């Protein structure tokens, strides 16, 4: 049983001393438990936060503990009602080959789900985040302008495509020309701007001639500062994540942006709300998401890109890639 544990808390970007691969015996299931074997491990930006010993919405991973993460696993043996050998399950058993589960907070996907790994992406947590956050906080209306950062990632790509379905002008921001072309040509965004461009602000202004009504915050940094002056009265900002800052060691140098941020929120009467998907939204929103998304995928109105990485040992480097934009689409590790 290979497993990856947190060896030490990183400062800045995690490196080869941050995580450690260990061997452990395959655990045994007792009465009321099942033994599961990981097939796919999801890699998500929030994992960087769990490496810090800081106050947050979830406890940090302890030193020596298995890294946290959602997986799709196969039930190998079960002494638990409702789960049989051969079933695929969505579980939170982390970065390891094998685990024992009592079935709590585990979703049974059945013996033959069509695309099991999609339960970690478009049909799972990131897709739900985009759908619930956009409808619940962004409140899109036809004709409005929506700007979304990390536009080709699982959350951003979904937010933008739902925005198009609702009749918004959608402007993405992404890292590099390849991702920007994908956002426009494949995802159907109206425009996409490379956040590394020196004249990012001017390009954003040109792409949003009627200002910005919804800014979906995924990244923070220059994208946020570029959008601020463009916000229209009563704009909404669902604060989903600030991935551009997750590896920050200390506050950046430079002018204090506080007055600009708070002044804009006040003068433009902006509604800015942070949310954590499973804390803010429940079964009702989840059911609506599943029904919309299954329909849109079947109709080809939502496209989904998955990047499959081979082997548990490749996970640490692949997580760094997610955090720094070297990924393309939803990153899933094929474990077993
Ligand atoms: P992504 O695949 O989009 O990964 C994050 C992306 O952020 C990178 O790929 C990169 O894309 C972009 N990025 C990194 N650094 C910068 C920077 N300095 N400036 C601009 N962009 C940058 O991940 P997800 O779609 O899974 O997640 C998107 C966001 O949503 C994250 O912030 C995540 O934490 C958050 N999230 C929040 C949830 C909640 O409940 N609140 C639930 C799920 C996700 P690029 O190459 O385009 O720059």
Mean pLDDT of 52-65: 95
Predicted local distance difference test score (pLDDT) of residue 336: 84
Mean pLDDT of 195-223: 98
The sheet carrying 191-194 orders its strands as 191-194, 169-174, 145-149, 212-216, 231-239, 271-274
Mean of all residue pLDDT scores within the chain: 97
Q: Is 116 in the pocket of ligand 1 (CB under 6 A)?
A: no
Mean pLDDT of 85-98: 98
| Domains of the chain by residue range | 2-121+305-334, 125-278
CATH hierarchy code of domain 125-278? 3.40.50.720
Evaluate whether ipTM surpasses 0.90. yes
Q: Is 126 in the pocket of ligand 1 (CB under 6 A)?
A: yes
Handedness of CA 67, 72, 76, 79 (dihedral sign): positive
Buried/exposed 194-225: b ≥16 CB within 10 Å, e otherwise: ebeeeebbebbbebbeebbbbbbbbbbebbbe
List, for residues 182-206, the tens digit of each pLDDT value: 999 999 999 999 999 999 999 999 9
Q: Is 156 in the pocket of ligand 1 (CB under 6 A)?
A: yes
From 48, 58, 134, 155, give the residue whose CB has the most ligand 1 atoms within 8 Å, as the site to mutate.
155
CA distance 36 to 87: 9
CATH topology for 2-121+305-334? Answer: Quinone Oxidoreductase; Chain A, domain 1 (3.90.180)
List, for residues 229-287, the tens digit of each pLDDT value: 999 999 999 999 999 999 998 999 989 999 999 999 999 999 999 999 999 999 999 99
From 50, 203, 217, 241, give the residue whose CB has the most ligand 1 atoms within 8 Å, as the site to mutate.
241
List, for residues 288-330, the tens digit of each pLDDT value: 999 999 999 999 999 999 999 999 999 999 999 999 999 999 9
Predicted local distance difference test score (pLDDT) of residue 179: 98
Residue 150 Cα to ligand 1 midpoint, Å, equals 5
Q: Is 286 in the pocket of ligand 1 (CB under 6 A)?
A: no
- CATH fold match for the domains 2-121+305-334 and 125-278: no
């Amino acid at each position: 049983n290979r497993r990856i544990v947190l060896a030490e808390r990183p400062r800045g970007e995690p490196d080869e001393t941050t995580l450690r691969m260990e061997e452990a015996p395959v655990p045994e299931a007792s009465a009321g438990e099942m033994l599961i074997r990981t097939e796919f491990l999801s890699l998500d930006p929030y994992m960087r936060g769990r490496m810090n010993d800081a106050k947050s919405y979830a406890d940090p991973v302890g030193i020596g503990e298995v890294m946290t993460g959602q997986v799709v696993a196969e039930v190998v043996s079960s002494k638990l009602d409702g789960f049989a050998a051969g079933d695929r399950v969505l579980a939170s058993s982390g970065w390891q080959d094998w685990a024992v589960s009592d079935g709590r907070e585990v979703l049974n996907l059945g013996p033959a789900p069509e695309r099991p790994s999609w339960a970690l992406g478009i049909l799972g947590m990131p897709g739900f985040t985009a759908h619930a956050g956009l409808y619940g906080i962004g409140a899109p209306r036809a004709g409005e302008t929506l700007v979304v950062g990390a536009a080709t990632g699982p959350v951003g790509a979904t937010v933008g495509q739902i925005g198009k379905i609702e009749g918004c002008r959608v402007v993405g921001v992404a890292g590099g020309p390849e991702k920007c072309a994908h956002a426009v040509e494949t995802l159907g965004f109206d425009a996409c701007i490379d956040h590394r461009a020196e004249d990012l602000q001017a390009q954003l202004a040109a792409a949003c001639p009627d200002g910005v009504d919804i800014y979906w915050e995924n990244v923070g940094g220059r994208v946020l500062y570029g959008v601020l002056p463009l916000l229209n009265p009563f704009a909404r900002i669902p604060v989903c994540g600030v991935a551009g800052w997750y590896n920050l060691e200390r506050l950046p140098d430079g002018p204090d942006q506080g007055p600009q941020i708070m002044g804009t929120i006040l003068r433009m009467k902006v509604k800015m709300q942070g949310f954590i998907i499973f804390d803010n939204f429940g079964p009702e929103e989840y059911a609506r998401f599943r029904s919309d998304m299954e329909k849109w995928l079947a109709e080809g109105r939502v496209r989904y890109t998955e990047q499959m990485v081979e082997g548990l040992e490749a996970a640490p480097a692949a997580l760094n890639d997610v955090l720094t934009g070297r990924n393309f689409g939803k990153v899933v590790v094929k474990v077993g």
